[in-house]
């Protein structure tokens, strides 16, 4: 209101004001109505009254001027505050970017913040970070802000897009009017349905000066991208480049460690063809349970390494005992049991980072039981780490549903009975229930990977029922709609390629 009064409102004059008072009007301008009802005007007012009226008018005029000045001053203040906010906007954005770098560990989350803040700082519609995949000769969006639906865009490095040109030349490209610039290819808009007005692209370089990606902003809210915008984007691109390079190096190391751990685990599994793949399957079951129980990303990493390495100590158990066809003597069984301690001792030699420090302990607890009758530390209940309780369930399930020297895959109803009998004394009931709740197709995909061949396509038909529901069907529960035939199909898949002398032994 103050704004319109000060800016657009008609200014009041002292005469107007006098008229409003109804006393200083000229009689000739009186309306007929006024004349009829009041005709008190006098052409010969006493001087004292005139003086008082003039004083009052002057005071009114001065009050009004003060009010107008106040309004104008307030307006100026608002304008300068807005200018100050505009001036500080990039700085506050930069503050949030730095904060994200300090608190976020995942590259994608960091880039999300960077692109969001960049779009706000530069006041533009779209902001994307393209990463160069030199192997495939293309650039793909690690993060695209302002893009609905399909989040990943892939453009060939040799293509006609401005992003490709920026990556090839390694130079900043600022196009104020896309459709009148020969460097812009309108076909890009045709394929996306987006109308490009202006573009600013900045290359991202690694420490060796090689281009590793492109930072692109599009469609400035008003006007075109300025030289100052270029400088801001170059600064942010340098930050993003550092993060991407660091994340790529980190992921290469992580991949190397993952593969090393997997290979180490397989050296154990491969000693005996019948247990081949056990560690990987236990890991996959464990991760599925972990996902169902919403464990954190850090816990998931610990779980993955611990599950993968849980039987590593078997390297110290003679093959004659591991491969024995028949019951083990008490001495032989004691020897097998040493593998849990050995797992701990061997893994403790590895320089796990703080985040993974619990891996050796958790891996070595997979034979502990809730009631304290397990080995090798005879831990009880919550003394057993939660992630170890997850591995225990996966380990037993895989052992029962895999072929062994002395028996074939166990009937799953029997498997269920064994798991139920271990509830509360061997297994953590919450972990068991989470396992039962897993989608049946997910369990079957892990289970069937034992055969080393392709997973049958029919496994997909089990995606709408849980593992527990499958067990119920196998126990004789009446199939609901869309469950008909699943029991028979499961048995066909589970028992495929059985040897002629197959026996369901315990
Ligand atoms: Fe084991």
Ligand 1 midpoint to CA 440 (Å): 25
Q: Is residue 458 part of a domain?
A: yes
Whether residue 35 has pLDDT greater than 60: no
Least confident piece of the model among 139-148, 312-321, 372-381, 474-483: 139-148
Q: What is the dihedral of CA 258, 259, 260, 261, to 10 degrees?
A: 50
**Statement to judge: residues 117 and 173 lie in one domain:** yes
Q: Residues near 436 by Cβ (< 8 Å), separated by ≥ 6?
A: 466, 467, 468, 471
Task: Kindly indicate the confidence band of residue 251, based on its pLDDT and cuts at 50, 70 and 90.
Answer: confident
**Statement to judge: residues 298 and 412 lie in one domain:** yes
Ligand 1 midpoint to CA 306 (Å): 12
Based on the structure, what is the number of domains in the chain?
A: 2
**Statement to judge: residues 189 and 302 lie in one domain:** no
Ligand 1 midpoint to CA 353 (Å): 24
Task: Kindly indicate the confidence band of residue 26, based on its pLDDT and cuts at 50, 70 and 90.
Answer: very low
**Statement to judge: residues 226 and 171 lie in one domain:** yes
pLDDT at 21: 40
Instruction: Give residue-wise pLDDT tens across range 99-136.
Output: 777 777 677 777 888 888 888 888 899 888 898 988 89
Q: Is residue 367 part of a domain?
A: yes
Q: Is residue 113 part of a domain?
A: yes
Least confident piece of the model among 347-361, 406-420, 461-475: 406-420
**Statement to judge: residues 462 and 328 lie in one domain:** yes
Q: Is residue 115 part of a domain?
A: yes
Least confident piece of the model among 10-24, 179-193, 275-289, 420-434: 10-24
Ligand 1 midpoint to CA 315 (Å): 11
- Residue of higher predicted confidence among 345 and 153: 345
Ligand 1 midpoint to CA 364 (Å): 8
CA distance 26 to 127: 68
Ligand 1 midpoint to CA 263 (Å): 17
Ligand 1 midpoint to CA 270 (Å): 15
**Statement to judge: residues 149 and 118 lie in one domain:** yes
Ligand 1 midpoint to CA 111 (Å): 42
Report the CATH number that the domain containing residue 362 is assigned in CATH. Answer: 1.10.3210.10
For tokens 């990943």, the residue is 152
Ligand 1 midpoint to CA 499 (Å): 27
pLDDT at 405: 62
pLDDT at 500: 59
Ligand 1 midpoint to CA 358 (Å): 17
pLDDT at 16: 42
Instruction: Give residue-wise pLDDT tens across range 50-97.
Output: 888 888 888 888 887 888 888 888 888 887 887 777 666 667 777 777
- List, in sequence order, every beta strand (DSSP E) within 184-271: 199-205, 211-220
pLDDT at 286: 98
Ligand 1 midpoint to CA 442 (Å): 23
**Statement to judge: residues 205 and 280 lie in one domain:** no
Q: Are 493 and 460 in contact (CB under 8 A)?
A: no
The residue among 329, 330, 120, 140 whose CA lies nearest residue 233 is 120
Ligand 1 midpoint to CA 174 (Å): 62
pLDDT at 44: 59
Whether residue 452 has pLDDT greater than 80: no
Task: Kindly indicate the confidence band of residue 270, based on its pLDDT and cuts at 50, 70 and 90.
Answer: confident
* SS3 state at 70: helix
**Statement to judge: residues 164 and 197 lie in one domain:** yes
- Residue of higher predicted confidence among 7 and 418: 418
**Statement to judge: residues 460 and 428 lie in one domain:** yes
pLDDT at 186: 87
pLDDT at 31: 44
Ligand 1 midpoint to CA 279 (Å): 10
Whether residue 9 has pLDDT greater than 70: no
Ligand 1 midpoint to CA 340 (Å): 6
Ligand 1 midpoint to CA 96 (Å): 48
Q: Is residue 280 part of a domain?
A: yes
Ligand 1 midpoint to CA 343 (Å): 9
Least confident piece of the model among 317-326, 420-429, 430-439: 317-326
Cα–Cα separations (whole angstroms), residue 24 to 34, 60, 89, 176, 474: 14, 15, 55, 62, 104
**Statement to judge: residues 299 and 425 lie in one domain:** yes
Picking from 178, 212, 247, the residue at the C-terminal end of a domain is 247
Residues with Cβ–ion distance below 5 A, ligand 1 = 311
pTM (predicted TM-score): 0.65
Ligand 1 midpoint to CA 475 (Å): 30
Picking from 247, 262, 288, the residue at the C-terminal end of a domain is 247
Ligand 1 midpoint to CA 333 (Å): 12
Upper half-sphere CA count for residue 252 (Cβ side, 13 Å): 6
Ligand 1 midpoint to CA 423 (Å): 19
Ligand 1 midpoint to CA 256 (Å): 25
Across all residues in the chain, what is the average pLDDT? 83
Ligand 1 midpoint to CA 285 (Å): 15
Ligand 1 midpoint to CA 278 (Å): 10
Report the CATH number that the domain containing residue 125 is assigned in CATH. Answer: 3.30.450.40
Q: What is the domain extent for residue 340? A: 270-494
Picking from 189, 216, 247, the residue at the C-terminal end of a domain is 247
Q: Rounded to the nearest 5 degrees, what angle is found at the Cα of 498, between the Cα atoms of 477 and 275?
A: 100
Overall average pLDDT of the 229-242 stretch: 88
Q: Is residue 47 part of a domain?
A: no
pLDDT at 51: 83
Ligand 1 midpoint to CA 312 (Å): 8
Ligand 1 midpoint to CA 399 (Å): 10
Ligand 1 midpoint to CA 421 (Å): 20
Tell me the H-state helices in 145-199: 162-169, 187-192
Whether residue 2 has pLDDT greater than 80: no
Ligand 1 midpoint to CA 396 (Å): 9
**Statement to judge: residues 227 and 314 lie in one domain:** no
Ligand 1 midpoint to CA 345 (Å): 14
Ligand 1 midpoint to CA 311 (Å): 5
Cα–Cα separations (whole angstroms), residue 175 to 147, 185, 216: 20, 12, 11
CA distance 71 to 310: 76
Q: Is residue 209 part of a domain?
A: yes
Ligand 1 midpoint to CA 424 (Å): 20
Ligand 1 midpoint to CA 504 (Å): 23
Percent of the chain residues past pLDDT 90, beyond the cut: 45
> Which two structure tokens, joined as six digits, stand for 467?
């593992």
**Statement to judge: residues 279 and 381 lie in one domain:** yes
Ligand 1 midpoint to CA 204 (Å): 49
CA distance 17 to 455: 92
Whether residue 348 has pLDDT greater than 90: yes
Q: Is the dihedral angle over the CA atoms 32, 35, 41, 42 positive or is it negative?
A: positive
Q: Is residue 201 part of a domain?
A: yes
Ligand 1 midpoint to CA 295 (Å): 23
Ligand 1 midpoint to CA 337 (Å): 8
Q: Say how many C-beta atoms besides its own lie within 10 A of residue 116's C-beta.
A: 18
> Which two structure tokens, joined as six digits, stand for 295?
């464990």
């Amino acid at each position: 209101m103050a704004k319109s009064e000060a800016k657009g409102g008609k200014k009041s004059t002292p005469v107007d004001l006098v008229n409003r008072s109804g006393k200083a009007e000229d009689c000739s301008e009186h309306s007929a109505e006024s004349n009829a009802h009041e005709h008190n005007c006098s052409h010969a007012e006493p001087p004292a009254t005139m003086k008082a009226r003039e004083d009052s008018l002057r005071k009114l005029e001065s009050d009004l001027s003060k009010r107008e000045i106040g309004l104008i001053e307030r307006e100026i203040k608002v304008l300068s505050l807005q200018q100050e906010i505009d001036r500080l906007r990039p700085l506050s954005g930069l503050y949030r970017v730095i904060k994200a770098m300090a608190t976020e560990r995942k590259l994608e989350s960091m880039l999300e913040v960077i692109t969001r803040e960049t779009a706000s700082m530069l006041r533009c519609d779209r902001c994307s970070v393209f990463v160069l995949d030199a192997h495939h000769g293309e650039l793909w969006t690690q993060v695209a802000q302002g893009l609905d639906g399909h989040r990943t865009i892939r453009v060939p490095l040799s293509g006609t897009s401005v992003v490709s040109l920026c990556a090839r030349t390694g130079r900043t490209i600022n196009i104020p009017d896309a459709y009148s610039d020969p460097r812009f290819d309108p076909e890009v808009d045709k394929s996306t349905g987006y109308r490009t007005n202006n573009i600013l692209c900045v290359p991202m370089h690694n420490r060796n000066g090689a281009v590793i990606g492109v930072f692109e902003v599009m469609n400035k809210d008003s006007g075109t991208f300025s030289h100052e915008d270029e400088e801001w984007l170059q600064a942010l691109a340098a930050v993003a480049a550092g993060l991407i390079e660091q994340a790529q190096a980190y992921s290469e190391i992580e991949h190397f460690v993952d593969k090393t751990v997997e290979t180490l685990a397989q050296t154990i599994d491969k000693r005996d063809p019948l247990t081949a793949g056990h560690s990987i399957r236990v890991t996959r079951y464990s991760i599925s349970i972990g996902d169902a129980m919403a464990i954190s990303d850090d816990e998931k990493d610990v779980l993955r390494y611990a599950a993968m390495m849980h039987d590593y100590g078997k390297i110290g158990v003679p093959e004659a005992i591991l491969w024995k066809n028949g019951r083990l003597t008490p001495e032989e069984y004691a020897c097998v049991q040493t593998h849990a301690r050995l797992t701990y001792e061997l893994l403790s030699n590895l320089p796990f980072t703080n985040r993974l420090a619990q891996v050796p302990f958790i891996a070595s607890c997979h034979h502990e039981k809730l009631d304290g009758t397990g080995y090798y530390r005879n831990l009880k209940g919550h003394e057993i780490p939660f992630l170890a309780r997850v591995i225990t369930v996966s380990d037993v399930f895989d052992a029962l549903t895999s072929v062994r020297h002395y028996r074939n895959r166990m009937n799953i109803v029997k498997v269920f009975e064994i798991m139920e009998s271990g509830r509360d004394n061997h297994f953590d009931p919450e972990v068991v229930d989470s396992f039962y709740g897993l989608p049946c197709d997910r369990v079957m995909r892990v289970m069937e990977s034992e055969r080393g061949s392709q997973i049958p396509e029919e496994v997909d038909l089990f995606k709408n029922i849980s593992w527990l529901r499958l067990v119920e069907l196998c126990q004789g529960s009446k199939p609901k709609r869309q469950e008909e035939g699943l029991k028979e199909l499961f048995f066909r898949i589970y028992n495929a390629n059985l040897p002629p002398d197959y026996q369901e032994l315990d």
